[in-house]
Each structure stands twice: as C-alpha cells, then as structure tokens.
Chains A and B, each alone.
Chain A
C-alpha cells in the first residue's frame, strides 16, 4: 500500500517537472500534457527498477527508452513531432545531484593539503563524473531509440504503411 502511494507521488512530481521544462522549451500548449504524462510514467519505471535493486544507469535507460518509444505513438495521435515532448519528459531523469557532487569535488581538489589528507575525493569525483556523463548519454539514446529501431524516414509514413 505504501509502495503504491510512493509510486503515485513519484509520478505526480515527475509530471510537474516535465510540464515545467515543456514550458521552458516552448512546447505548444496543446501537447504539454503529453510531455507530463510521458515524464511521469518514464520516471516511475526508473523508480520501480531502482526499488528492485537495478543499477541506476540501466534503470535510466529503461525509462528513457520507454519515453522514446511511447513518444512515437503519441506523436501520431496528437500531430506533433515526437522530440517536442520526449525531450522535456527525459529531462525529469537528469542527473543533477551527481553533476553537483562532481563539481563540488573539483572545487575541493583545488586545495592540495585537503586532497593529500583525504585522497578518496579524487575517486569520488571521478565516479560522479562518469555516472553523470553516462546518464546523459543514456537519455539521448532513449530519445532516438525510435529512429534506431524502426529505420523508417518518418513516423507518419511508418503508420500509413501499417494501416
């Protein structure tokens, strides 16, 4: 029961995040809600996977690929290109905390005495840096997963042929 509430809370917050970034990127008003829903569901998938002890990078990949693929179907329904709402939806999973820790590590490393006293700073900073960049790369792969899998020129053409 508590798990369901936590999941719903996660979806609600991710919905608002995707909506906010949609507004920042000037996504048309009529498709803003699609960005919100995709962001909520994608983040919820990552949340559930993390809860089941999956590592954060594959969990992010799963969420981002879900957003990328579902975005294609939504694009056909609402008549707008998929990037318009998959981009804000994926931003919900942006690794802000890790990026901040990597940056703070760099600031700490400017002090040589501190670094010699506690060399783990170096390892931590490298770890957070690698985590941040691999998660950013993962998000990009998620967004273009549709183009990678279907190999068709346009989503709209693809749907016409199958129908």
Chain B
C-alpha cells in the first residue's frame, strides 16, 4: 500500500509541475501577441508529448487550464494564471514555438524546458535606438508611399521619432499606457502640424496622417479578427475593445493638437 501511495504522490506532483509550466508558457504567448489558436496548439503539442490531455480556457487577462494524465485518469490538475498586459514581442512567440517543437522531436526534459522558458521570459526588446530609428524610417516611408514629398517624409521621421521617445519615457515612469498613447500622438501631430502651418512640404496632410501610424494597435486588431474567425469569442471581443480604445486615444491626442494649431479650418 505504502509504495503505491508514494508513487501516486510523485505522479500528481509531476502533473502539477507540468501544469504550472504549460500555464506559464501560455501566459507569455498570450501577452506577447499570439492569437488563441497558436497558444492552444503550442500547449497541446507539449502536453500530448508528456502524456496529458489538456482543456484550456483563454481570456484576455488570464488563462485557465486543466490537465488529465492519460494513463491515470484520476490524476487531474486545474490551475489559473492571470497574464500581464505587456507589449507585443514576436521574438518570444518564435522561441516558444521552437521550444515546443524541440520537446516533440528531441525529447527535451522538463528541467531543461523550465530553464529555457525562464531565458525566453527575460528576452529583451531590440535596442532603443534601433526601435526609434526603425519607427521613424517606417513612418517616413509610409509618407512617401502615400504620395508625400521628401520634405514631408523628413517631417514624418522627426515627428514619429520624438513621439516614440516620449511614449517610451512615459512608460518608463509607469504611467497608464493610454496616457502614453495620448501624449505620443499629441507630440507627433504637434510637430507634423507645424509643417502644415508653415507650408514647409508640398503635401503636409500626408505627413500629418502617416506620422502617427506607428501607434496603431495593428497586432491586437488583427488578432481580434483571427480569433473571431477561429471562434474564440471572449478573447476576440476583449482584444477588439482594447484596440479600439487605443485608436480612440490616438484620435484624442491628434484632435487636441489639431484644435490647438487650428488646422481643421484649412
């Protein structure tokens, strides 16, 4: 009787450990901008390899998971984990996807998966200067694509560079992220609006419209539609509302500086 019990304890302990690990993986994926179908596939891939059956419930601010040992149906664990609202990080999504494939194909042990997941969680974003230059160049090129002149593109570059800088500073001070969006779009539109007031470029409207595009919540909005198509309604609604509200904040920041400069009379 006693050895059997010991074995039983060990079995449920490892089930708990696996559940915690899978939950951790799922919350990182959800926070870094993976759509629900991807989160579910990655978790199921690992769980099936380790001999568990998974039931998953995904929400926007957290996820719930219950696993069942395929050999011993009495061993069940159910856990919940809330997940933080972090920024989009596709590097983490890539690395976790590769990690789950290596579990499936190369039989990586649970200890190694834990250490590798820890490394993935600590992955930094690209260096700050690179993000600022990338954002500036992207907005300048969007301005050119929309039909602006080189001067307009230059203004769009400076405007989006400064706006992104302000947003990073505000996020560093741990203000509400929505304040960051409003402030960034305000600063960006103020700079690109001066172009319109002083008639510097040939088509200042293009610069004004494209300089704020780096703030557009493309990932939440696109994920919202993908989730809707795949049938994850709660997550999809939450992402859509979140993305819509960010758009509203951008519009508020823009209207504030447009009204300040009086551009709407043009």
Contact = CB atoms under 8 A, between A and B. Distances in A.
B98 A79 contact: yes
B225 A107 contact: no
Interface residues of A, number: 51
B135 A25 contact: no
A90 B222 contact: yes
B34 interface: yes
B216 A143 contact: no
A92 B37 CA distance: 24
Interface in B136-170: 136-139, 141-142, 144-146
Interface string A107-147: 11000000000000000000000000000110111011001
Interface residues of B, number: 57
Contacts of B136: 20
B185 to A, nearest CB: 10
B226 A140 contact: yes
A81 B38 contact: yes
Contacts, number: 153
B90 interface: yes
Given A81-B94, A96-B142, A26 B222 contact: no
Contacts of B218: 21, 87, 90-91, 94
A144 B226 contact: yes
Contacts of A10: 145
Nearest to B252: A103
Contacts of A31: 94
Q: State the main secondary structure of chain B at its contact with A.
A: helix
A71 to B, nearest CB: 13
Nearest to B247: A99
Contact of A94 (B89, B205, B216): B216
A137 B225 contact: yes
B179 interface: no
Contact of A26 (B38, B88, B145, B216): B88
Interface of A: 10, 13-14, 16-29, 31, 43, 79-81, 83-84, 87, 90-92, 94, 96-97, 99-101, 103-104, 106-108, 136-137, 139-141, 143-144, 147-148, 153-154, 156
14 contacts: A13-B145, A16-B137, A16-B138, A17-B142, A19-B138, A43-B145, A80-B97, A81-B97, A84-B93, A92-B145, A97-B210, A99-B247, A100-B208, A136-B225
Q: Closest 5 A-B residue pairs measured CB to CB?
A: A20-B138, A140-B225, A100-B209, A23-B134, A20-B134
